[in-house]
Every structure is written in C-alpha cells, then in structure tokens.
Amino acid sequence: MDTFAGIPDAAFRFYADLEHNNNRDWWLEHKATYESAVKGPLTLLLAELEPSFGAGKLFRPNRDIRFSLDKSPYKTAQGAFASTADGVGFYLQLSADGVLIGGGCHTHTPAQLARFRRAVDDPASGEALQAIVHDVEGAGFAVEGESLKTPPRGFDKDHPRAELLKHKSLTASVNVGQPGWLATPGAAAEVARRWEMLRPLVEWMGLYAAP
C-alpha cells in the first residue's frame, strides 16, 4: 500500500491553472494531474490521520451549478473533512493559495442551533467555549462562521457571550500557504498538530451542537 509522501507543488499549479481554464475540456486533459497531485496525496494523508481524527473524505471536485449564475463546472479548491459528528469535524482545503487547516461546526439545523445557544447561554459550558475560542485565536486561527448582526431573539444584547450567541455556525481555520514541509511526509504531522489545537473546539461543538 502506498504511504503519504507529501503534497507536490504540482497540486497548487493545477489549481492556479484551473482558475483560468475552468472548463470540461481542460479538466479532462489535466485529470491525470488532479489524480496524481491532488486526489492521491490527500487520500493518503487522510488515511494516515484517520487513527487520531477519524475517517476523512474528499469533497467532489464538481460544482453544483443548477441554481448558480456562475456556470464554471469545477471547484477551484479541493476540500476534505474528517467528521466526528453531523456537520462537526476537522477540515482541510487545498487551492492555488496553499493549504487551509480548520475545524468546528459548519452546519446549523434548527435543532443544532437551539442546542448551541442553550450551551452558550449556560455559564459553565458557555464560559468553557469562550476560553476555547480565546485559546484558538491566540494560536493564530481565525474564528469564523455564519453569524447574525445582533444576538438572537430571547437573549439580551449585553449578554456576556453575546458575540458567540450571534453565531449560526462556528469554525476556526488558518491558511498556512505553501511551506516547504507540505511536499514532505512531515506534512501529516504538521496538519495533525494544528488539528490537535482545534480538538477542544471540535469536541465542544460535537457535545453541545450536534444532534
């Protein structure tokens, strides 16, 4: 069985070229590069990380253009997700800009949202999340997610965790660019190290937001 050897520079060149040639003919002509430089290495990387973070999967490279004005058929980034609960887990994305490493909860069903808000409102679990977010930001991650302009109905605008209550989804990520270690087997350890930093956030969201 093949072992993960790194993500080659050809992966980033592939997406840089795709941004200017987003059509089926170009994709078919360069599909072998996608398979060898993008899909293959990321599949092996996810397999190496699976014992610590769970099974991961690659997202489809095709865009859903049915309801979009942009009819470009292919995504200009390859995403991967190791799910720990519904909509919760560890994320990895490769594009012309480099590699983005993240995690958290990216969905917001009504049930998830209600659970999340109750947990943020509760002093014990809410303060725990606030401390986690503080640590994650201090480690260099950007805390993001879809959010409201004001706290949701039923919560005071002066709530001590008003900013967290505004969130409908909550994720954290960092774009590491294209450092030299990406092309080496050591990339697995570098991704794992950053995912470990996000584990408290992922575990909190899995406990309090997932159904």
pLDDT score, position 2: 87
Alpha carbons 3 and 20: distance in angstroms, whole number: 32
pLDDT band at residue 78 using 50, 70 and 90 as cut-offs? very high
Average pLDDT, integer, range 64-92: 91
Alpha carbons 86 and 173: distance in angstroms, whole number: 19
What does pTM read for this prediction? 0.94
Average pLDDT, integer, range 42-49: 98
pLDDT score, position 32: 98
Domains parsed from the chain with CATH numbers: 9-208 (3.30.930.20)
The CB density around residue 76, as the number of other CB atoms within 10 Å, is 15
Q: Which two tokens stand for residue 140?
A: 């260099």
What is the percent of the chain with per-residue pLDDT over 90, rounded to a whole number? 89
Predicted confidence (pLDDT) per residue in 20-29, tens digit: 999 999 999 9
Alpha carbons 63 and 129: distance in angstroms, whole number: 34
HEC-encoded secondary structure of 80-135 = EEEEEECCEEEEEEEECCEEEEEEEECCCCHHHHHHHHHHHHCHHHHHHHHHHHHH
Average pLDDT, integer, range 118-131: 97
Alpha carbons 97 and 175: distance in angstroms, whole number: 8
Whether pLDDT at 45 is above 90: yes
Whether pLDDT at 64 is above 90: no
Whether pLDDT at 76 is above 80: yes
Predicted confidence (pLDDT) per residue in 168-177, tens digit: 999 999 999 9
pLDDT band at residue 211 using 50, 70 and 90 as cut-offs? low
- Give the residue from 211, 193, 209, 204 showing the smallest Cα distance to 53: 193
The CB density around residue 166, as the number of other CB atoms within 10 Å, is 18
pLDDT band at residue 1 using 50, 70 and 90 as cut-offs? low
Predicted confidence (pLDDT) per residue in 150-173, tens digit: 999 999 999 999 999 999 999 999
How does the average pLDDT of the chain come out, rounded? Answer: 95
